[in-house]
Structure 1
């Protein structure tokens, strides 16, 4: 199990730091909780200091009664849980693809296309040869440009079952190689080894000629393109929860009521798919998370603190009862009023894009000392986890370290080497002389 801490440093910057991996005997929530407790204790930390926890959607992690989230909340009810935003985005796409019959049929057909075209080396070679000839003709006629990275050899990309970002790559490769794929399918239709193969190719070619296929191809291409871009943005280390939430929500659309072909494709297909996405987004946010986001939005410095609302921020402070007692709440109300008026008159605070920017600027201008309770409230908002990308990147580093030739590395040594490999930024501050001095003070070696 990999553990990453998210915190705000002394300069107001949001940091995510890998603190280690732990060997666990099983993945039950109680085992994971005890392992995390040991790591925190060894670093002179405790569950009482946690103000946010984030995981993927596994039942042992987010279970309402016996999940890791619930066990930690039993000890500290201000350790608010946030389901990984990037993971939620993937689940939304999967849910829509399974619930909508048209989308589900479309991806089944796309999977069949890849299977038929890439079923043998002969077909792959034919696809590659057709693509090469098309590129040569385009270059000779001037329809294609030359340059570094352009016109690279490619093939149909097979989509993964668990990574819906790969489906976008599949659609991209299909659109790029569409003319070449048609040639291969015609070949299979005429000269396929079995009747089933010829019928498959004939069925795909007929589906390609339908307007539904073209509509779904471009619709899902645009949707997956947007979700892919969002997914990459949601995996940034410095992303705050307000910015992440604003990325995920889309406004509602108007409906048409006339039963025409346009109504069918615009309302019954396109709007239905988008509505299903919005519904999935809303359903996946718990009531507590929604409340937190609503209150935290009042901290946003965008448009000269246009969303500032003192009443919502006071409600947010009450949620963190261990950080703000009754006297603090009285002081917080006064500080919020003065803070707001001082910021809207300060030109340095007029062009901020998010609460992360506000945190850094408060420290650089010294306002974190003038308004310590406001800054504490801001830090509580900033440290809420957004995505588990940092944890996953750390865990994937194990592939580079524990290889077949180094498969006997012990847990402690593996943890130390992984820390050195992940936290390279922190290691740059360590002087070589101090390292050598430490080794010289150790016991003699052979």
Structure 2
């Protein structure tokens, strides 16, 4: 289990640190809860200090009654759970696709196309050769242009069930190679190694000629183009939470516009998919809505004292009754003092606001997804027997490079020399 902590330092900078990996005997919520408790305790921390938690969509993690989220909330009811926006978006897309039989059948056919065309090296080579000849003819006739990154050798992209951004890449590759895919399918239809293969190719070719295929291909391309862009933006490390909420709203508006006029561009009839667009994105949680009321953008245009007071009530261990009384007055003074202060007029987010409050002394009144790629890099086939402790140390060195730059080489060598006798001086 990988553990990452996000916290605010003494200068009100938001920091995120990979703490390490912990070996667990099973993935039950109780086992994971105990493992996290041991890590926190060893670092002189406790559950009472947690103000937020986030996991993937597995029931053992976010279950309402017996999940890890629920166990931690039993000990600290202000450790609010916020589901990863990007992962939540993936789940919504999957749920919507399964709800509409036509869309579900469409992606099953697309998956079958990839399986048939890429089933053997011979078919892959035929696909590449057809694409190469088509590009060469296009360059000779002037229909295609040369340049850096243009006309690259490619193949059909296989979609991943839990990564719906990959489905958009699959559709892009199919649209680029559509003519070449038809050649390969014709080849399999005539010379496939078995009757089943020939029937599959024949069925796909018939589906490609249907009204339904063309409709779903263009419709899902436009919808996944929007949601895929949102998914990538939500995974940015430097993304401000208010900016994320703004992107969600913007995507919802774009999907609503697509519902209203987009289908008319593709086909004259909306058919049975007219409700798919707006269901793809959910509203930001109430917690984030309250936070947005503190945004300094546009001279605190979204400032709302009532929402900020509701936010304070959620964190009852940080704001008792007397604090809430003080907070109501402090917020009024804070707002009127900041909008008159030129230093606060060009801020872009809450992080900028918090840092400026520290530098100006206003904070004295009231303080207002890297790890797995490194694991894949380190845990190679040659290191399958790597021990937990060594793997944990290697990951820390790779992930927390910024912190390690402050460690002097002489200190490291001195520590190694003291560990055990060396054959020679380091």
TM-score range, shorter chain: 0.7 to 0.9
1:145–1:24: structure 2 CA closer, same or farther, 3 Å change rule?
Answer: same
Q: Give deviations 1:345-396, integer Å, cap 9, x for gaps.
A: 3344334333233233333444323xxxxxxxxxxxxxxxxxxxxxx63244
Moved more, 425-434 or 297-306: 297-306
User: Secondary structure at 2:82's aligned position in 1?
Assistant: strand
- Classify 1:234/1:125 alpha carbon distance in 2 versus 1 (closer, same or farther; 3 Å): same
Using a 3 Å threshold, how does the CA distance of structure 1 residues 270 and 345 change in structure 2: closer, same or farther?
farther
> Structure 1 CA distance, aligned partners of 2:390 and 2:194?
57
Give the conservation status (yes or no) of the 8 Å contact 1:55–1:83.
Answer: yes
Secondary structure at the residue paired with 2:352?
helix
* 1:130 Cα deviation from its structure 2 partner: 1.1
Distance of aligned partners of 1:80 and 1:276 in 2 relative to their CA distance in 1, 3 Å threshold: farther
State the shift of 1:193 in Å: 4.4
Decide whether the 8 Å contact of 1:116 with 1:201 is kept in 2. Answer: yes
RCO comparison, higher one (Cα < 8 Å, 6+) = 1
Q: Distance in 1 between matches of 2:114 and 2:258?
A: 35
Q: Is 2:215–2:267's contact at 8 Å kept on the other side of the alignment?
A: no
Q: Compute the RMSD of aligned alpha carbons.
A: 2.8
Of 357, 362, 370, 1:362 maps to: 357
Task: Describe the shift of the 1:413–1:111 C-alpha distance in structure 2 as closer, same or farther (beyond 3 A).
Answer: closer
Matched residues in 2 for 1:20 and 1:302: separation? 36
Listed one character per residue, the Cα deviations across residues 390-411 of structure 1 (whole Å, up to 9, x for unaligned) are xx63244333334444444432
Check 1:127–1:368 CA distance in 2 against 1; reply closer, same or farther (3 A cut): same
Moved more, 312-321 or 356-365: 356-365
The change in CA–CA distance for 1:420 and 1:271 in structure 2 (over 3 A counts) is farther
1:298 and 1:308 in contact (8 A); partners too: yes
Shift of 1:126: 2.0
Shift of 1:423: 0.5
> In the TM superposition, what is the alpha-carbon distance from 1:140 to its structure 2 partner?
1.6
CA deviation profile, 1:6-60 (whole Å, cap 9, x unmatched): 0123333322110111111111111111111111011111100000000011111
> Could you tell me whether the CA contact under 8 Å between 1:239 and 1:356 is conserved in 2?
no
Q: How far does the alpha carbon of each residue in 1:139-183 deviate from its partner, in whole angstroms, 9 at most, with x for none? A: 222222222222111111122222222211111110111111122
Q: Counterparts of 1:424 and 1:43 in 2: how far apart (Å)?
A: 20
Structure 1 pair 420–276 and aligned structure 2 pair: CA distance change class (3 A):
farther
More displaced 10-residue stretch of structure 1: 98-107 or 303-312: 303-312
Q: 1:299 to 1:48 in 2, by over 3 A?
A: same
CA contact (8 A) 2:56 2:83 kept: yes
Distance 1:271 1:435 in 2: 70
The answer to whether residue 372 in structure 2 is matched with residue 395 in structure 1 is yes
Question: 5+ unaligned residues in a row in structure 2: which ranges?
Answer: 249-256, 261-265, 275-283
Unaligned runs of 5+ in 1: 255-268, 278-288, 370-391
| Counterparts of residues 160-239 of structure 1 (less than 5 Å) | 160-239=160-239
Cα shift readout 1:319-358 (whole Å, capped 9, x = no counterpart): 1111112222122112211221222233443343332332
TM-score of the two chains, using structure 1 as the length reference: 0.81
CA contact (8 A) 1:100 1:273 kept: no
Q: Deviations over 1:248-292 (max 9, x none)?
A: 3xx8966xxxxxxxxxxxxxx999999999xxxxxxxxxxx8331
Whole-angstrom CA distance in 2 between matches of 1:148 and 1:252: 33
Q: Deviations over 1:208-265 (max 9, x none)?
A: 23333222112212222222222222122333433323323xx8966xxxxxxxxxxx
- Change in CA separation of 1:14 and 1:110 when aligned onto 2, cut-off 3 Å: same
CA gap of 1:407–1:155, structure 2 versus 1, over 3 A, is: closer
User: Whole-Å Cα distance in 2 between the matches of residues 274 and 81 of structure 1?
Assistant: 38
Would the alpha carbon gap of residues 331 and 305 (structure 1) be closer, same or farther in structure 2, given more than 3 Å must change? Answer: same
Report if the CA contact (8 A) 2:171-2:217 is conserved: yes
Q: 1:347 aligns with which of 326, 339, 342?
A: 342
Determine if contact 1:3/1:20 at 8 Å carries over to the other structure: yes
State the secondary structure of the residue aligned to 1:145.
Answer: coil
**Contact (CA 8 Å) 1:157, 1:170: kept in 2 or not?**
yes
Q: How far off its partner does 1:184 sit?
A: 2.1
For residue 196 of structure 1, report the CA deviation from its aligned partner: 4.1
Conserved 8 A contact 1:16-1:237:
no
The 1-side partners of 2:359 and 2:131 are apart by: 56
CA gap 1:275/1:46 in 2 versus in 1, 3 angstroms? farther
Distance 1:20 1:94, change over 3 A: same
8 Å CA contact retained: 1:295, 1:316: yes
